[in-house]
Structure 1
Amino acid sequence: MSLEEKVGQLFVTWVNGKAADEADPKNQADFGVDTAAQAVSKYHLGGVIYFNNDSRDNFDDPGQVAKLSNGLQQAAIGSGAHIPLQIGTDQEGGTVTRMGAPATEFPNSMALAAGRDVSAGTEAATVLGHELRAVGINQDYAPDADVNSNPANPVIGVRSFSGRPDLAGDFVAAEVRGYQDSGPAAETVSATAKHFPGHGDAATDSHTGLPRIDRSEQQWRTTDVPPFKEAISAGIDSIMSAHIQFPSLDPSGEPATLSEPIITGKLRGELGYDGVVITDSLEMQGVRELHSDAEIPVLALNAGIDQLLMPADLDLAINSVLAAVKSGELSMQRIDQSVLRVLKLKLKRGILSAPFDNPALVESKVGTPEHLAVAQGIADRSITAVANDAGVLPLKQKPATALVTGWGETSTSTLAERLTAHGTKATALETGQTPSDALIAQAAEAAKNTDLVVVLTNNLGGFPLQNKLLQALTDTGKPMVAVAAQIPYDAGYTNPVPTWLATYGYLTPSLEALAKVVLGEAEPSGKLPVDVPADGDVHTVKYPFGHGLTW
């Protein structure tokens, strides 16, 4: 391989468009070419990552994704070193779901842990992995191995399995087995534990700033390390670094992604990991706070990183690495070491021998009734009754009508649909995270004309105006159930509502499970995977880990 081909293997970037040969003006702006296939060929890329957001949307339907993957693989094989691509995406389940319906949608990681069935982690990852591989995606940037020890964490939350390292570690290992060991290599995907050395105590979002973690080294070993150890013991293919400062591990202030003491010292040396280490996105502010975009990839490779994910300027990043090798700032040995790890991963996962998918088989493999049933079963076991002080639940009789209000246009409308499907005519009135007085009054008026009120909340600590809505609805005297529709910590804040359920997410399986519990068709069986503090004070636990009512 030429130096350019070797360096290309160390980069993973987004591509624009839903077909490999589709001209997209964004590709000209980002890569100086017309199509995604041309970008792969131009830079001899080792991998690409798919997205489903407004600016980078690669997903239409599973059949289309399969054809996109095949087109990109053809471009990789037909140029440069003729090495197939890692094709990855973030498919954690719940909040971080890139390939949505008709593919199978799973609840967030914390919902799995609320069910306490570790085998469900393997089941979920098996389904997710097989569906991804069916459309040509061979790498999932999951599971999240962070221990969510900070209830105010702005970026992890329900993406973490638990605030307890042992429970988180059990589920991380279970998911690694599901992603990687649930069939022949060519039917499975590489798992990626993230975000090393542990993002769970962050109070800043590393997308927008550089978080500082002030744990001692011993606290780090006790709290953050266990899930990564479990992932390594389970044979995980790759680990993702975090853009966080961790002074007890590296007092220099460098983010972990660029820290030789953390990546080579702790992850490689102390934990003995010799698989692929990939950065979190290099577009994020956390890694760009202290260094230029030209410096970052060189510093990351010298720290012990193998793959560079989504540099803000791919051309600049690749040329910076090439220049660093030619000047001696980066050794050829360091490049070869990482290239070898990447190639070994591709060999192990069957990417070199079976890079293509079969679009004709996608419909029989993605979103099947059996897979959907697995996801629904996990959601059904996750619903947690946090408080029932007034004995509102179980309802004495099924209500004829219900009002669903609070946070989320899609979540309120979907829950109303599910309640209606179960025999209670429900209407939705979204009021959002910052409800206006007019909307609050409208919701209270609507509540007076219904038999039951269900109100969804999302982050009461950060958006306390939702409490005004809760008070106004309580004042109507109507039976009411409040639902923490994302983080379960909402139930711990001072509020007037005596009945709280937690769903840990708001995708359809979770809302279907919620409807069944609210209407008495199922009993709640979930247990809190975290401590829920009183009013966000971590020193005062209102509802402890393991708490969960039933009836």
Structure 2
Amino acid sequence: MFRRLPVLAGATVLLFTTACGGGSAPRPGERTTQISDPADVDAQAAALLAEMSLEEKVGQLLVPVLSGTTAEENAEVIERYHPGGFIYFPENLETPEQVAAMSNGLQERATGTGAGIPLFLGVDEEQGLVSRLPFGARFPDAMALGAARDPELARELAAATAEQLAAVGINLDYAPVADVNVNADNPVIGIRSFSSDPELVGELAAAEVAAFQDGGVVAVAKHFPGHGDTDVDSHTGLPVIDKSRDEWERVDLPPFQRLVDAGVDMVMTAHVLMPQLGDAEEPATLSPHLITGVLREELGYDGVVTTDALNMEGVRQTHDDGEVAVRAVLAGADQLLMPPDVDLAYSAVLSAVEEGRISEERLDESVLRILRLKLRRGLFDAAPADAEQAAQVATQPEHHEAAQRVADASVTLLRNTNGVLPLARTATVHVLGVGAEEIGAALADLGLTVTDSLSGADAVVVGTDGARGDAEQQRLVARAQASGAPVVVVAQGTPYDLSVLPDVDAFLAVYSTMEVSRVAAARVVAGEVSPSGRLPVDIPGTELGFGDGLSY
């Protein structure tokens, strides 16, 4: 059964429904969109838009947080608001089979309700520190890729991640981070950034975007116009970046310009205030000058723009939550991510359209962008996720091997006094600090003797993560040094820890607390792997900077 819709340019769209009982909802994957010219995405999107009510159009702008672990727990939100998508968090994710079933159920309800538009089902799966899936390969953070300097490894990470997500019905990843981390005190970006070098960030981000989109997963470049030079976390406050337009163009802009030119599916805004870029009153998320003026008109971006999460304090400083939603749309955003009160955001935007504050033309622009992207990524004819296949993908050895390759290639040796590394396989080692259990186990697997006592150890390995701002970790390193044995620090966060640990005998940066990174550190300590990583950032207070690194 199908119904014929009028479309632009004389094309014909056929929306198929179930053949049994015209009013029954279609099963997952059964409802598809066809057109006489399948390449004419604009015509398909226009045809779909023509059939949508005002309420359904407003709904496409909303991307709420999911409830629970089943589609049924979100049925009322779908039927009432017709949202454009949802975002998964760890509390929604249990096993590959459960996530696949939930994704299928959500899509079935969405395509069987209202205008029948499938959902963006998204997640923050950057890998490393920001990773939501409780299954599948765990890769190191982006800065590890910056140290490895290999776009092919970035492609491997994104391709494996896309395969894992697609297998469970997740079709959008809020990644990669395109921010250039130039502030050692940045509390929210740090190792989530590839580097402090704009060209390297752009190269690696572009490699990830291509792999995500080739894998059928929407890629989202974040956080425009740049979150890499902040010392305030926009989750808890509003960062102010008081840099000139010239400096922004030199440092923050290049990765975003490269991704726009490469056709990135979606760009996420930042809740940051950049007064010298032309808006001293509103964060970028609410700034028509930055979204419509700079991103769209100057950079030429006509893809989907999503806000960062609207429950973050950085965007809630001066307006209530309903007004924030309206102002984000007026600024040029197409999707409203995680509004703290879905009904308030929906009602506020709907009222703004009905009252003429947001024109219907402006609303249609956003909905068309969303529909075009859903069509290009095949959401209208996507097969349902297969639970058995999802379980197999989650344990795929090739993905885990790729994660270890990234970790091994990233290890950066920044100090090696008197050639203390590599340690002899006959050495006795005491391991303490962050990641001690995993580092110690990996050293033991390589044949070294790991002892519980500082006394008599040939060397002490101390794991750190953020020691630059943690006096307790600094004291732990000092205690290890007091033993008289050579001390090897393995920094698993940013490499900036070295600035407060100037006298250690050896210093390794691995840029991640993932198990593969700790194994890679052990391999380098034991001489199984020669360190090949190079600093992707400068380390303040030292002579070490971008490109530095030792080898054996």
Using the size of structure 2 for normalisation, the TM-score is 0.88
Structure 1 residues 482 and 362: CA distance shift in structure 2, 3 A: same
Letter in 2 for 1:19: T
Q: Which residue of 2 aligns with 1:479?
A: 486
Structure 1, residues 462-507: CA drift from partner, whole Å, max 9, x if none?
A: 2133222111110101232111111111112244312100010011
In structure 1, the partner of 2:76 is 38
- Counterpart in the other structure of 2:6: none
Distance verdict in 2 for CA 1:501–1:97, change over 3 Å:
same
What are the Cα deviations for residues 82-121 of structure 1, in whole angstroms up to 9, with x where unaligned?
A: 11100000111110111133x0111101101111111111
**Whole-Å separation in 2 of the counterparts to 1:463 and 1:116:** 29
Q: Counterpart of 2:176 in structure 1: which amino acid?
A: P
Partner of 2:521 in structure 1?
A: 514
Are residues 1:412 and 2:436 paired? yes
Which residue of the partner structure matches residue 3 of structure 1?
54
Equivalent position amino acid for 1:283 in 2: N
Q: Which runs of 5+ in 2 are unaligned?
A: 1-51
1:107 and 1:205 map into 2 onto residues whose CA distance is 22
Give the TM-score normalised by structure 1: 0.89
Q: Which amino acid aligns with 2:550?
A: L
* In structure 2, distance between residues paired with 1:104 and 1:234: 27
Structure-2 separation of matches of 1:42 and 1:390? 68
Gap regions ≥5 residues in structure 1: 22-34, 183-187, 429-445, 535-540
Compute the displacement of 1:363 (Å): 2.7
Q: Kindly report which structure 2 residues correspond to 1:30-429, keeping only aligned pairs within 5 A, or say none.
A: 35-52=73-90, 57-101=91-135, 103-182=136-215, 188-354=216-382, 356-399=384-427, 401-407=428-434, 411-426=435-450
1:548: which partner in 2?
A: 549
Question: Residue 221 of structure 2 aligns to a residue in which SS?
Answer: strand
Distance in 2 (alpha carbons) for counterparts of 1:460 and 1:383: 18
SS at match of 1:298: helix
Judge conservation of contact 1:459–1:487 (CA < 8 Å) in 2: yes
Change over 3 Å in CA distance of 1:38–1:402 after alignment to 2: farther
CA drift of 1:147 comes to 0.2
Q: Deviations over 1:228-260 (max 9, x none)?
A: 111112211000000000001133320000000
Q: CA separation in 1, counterparts of 2:80 and 2:525?
A: 55
Paired position in structure 1 for 2:38: none
Separation of aligned partners in 2, 1:289 and 1:256 = 13
Contact 1:415 / 1:512 at 8 angstroms: preserved in 2? Answer: yes
Alignment counterpart, residue 447 of structure 1, candidates 451, 454, 457: 454
> How far off is 1:425 after superposition?
4.5
Bigger Rg, structure 1 or 2: 2
3-state SS, counterpart of residue 419 of structure 2: coil
Q: Distance in 2 between matches of 1:256 and 1:288?
A: 12
Number of aligned residue pairs: give it. 501
Root-mean-square deviation over aligned CA pairs: 1.4
Deviation at 1:521, TM superposition (A): 1.0
Contact 1:458 1:487 in 2 (8 A): yes
Check the 8 A contact 1:84/1:355 in 2, yes or no: no
Compute the displacement of 1:548 (Å): 0.6
Contact 2:121–2:170 (CA under 8 A) maintained in structure 1: yes
What per-residue deviation string (whole Å, max 9, x for no partner) do you get for residues 101-152 of structure 1? 3x01111011011111111111211111111111100000000000001111
Q: Which residue of 1 aligns with 2:14?
A: none
Aligned 8 A contact 1:211 1:244 in 2: yes
Q: Distance in 2 between matches of 1:372 and 1:427?
A: 29
Shift of 1:208: 0.3
Q: CA deviation at 1:355?
A: 5.5
Aligned partner of residue 230 in structure 1, secondary structure: helix
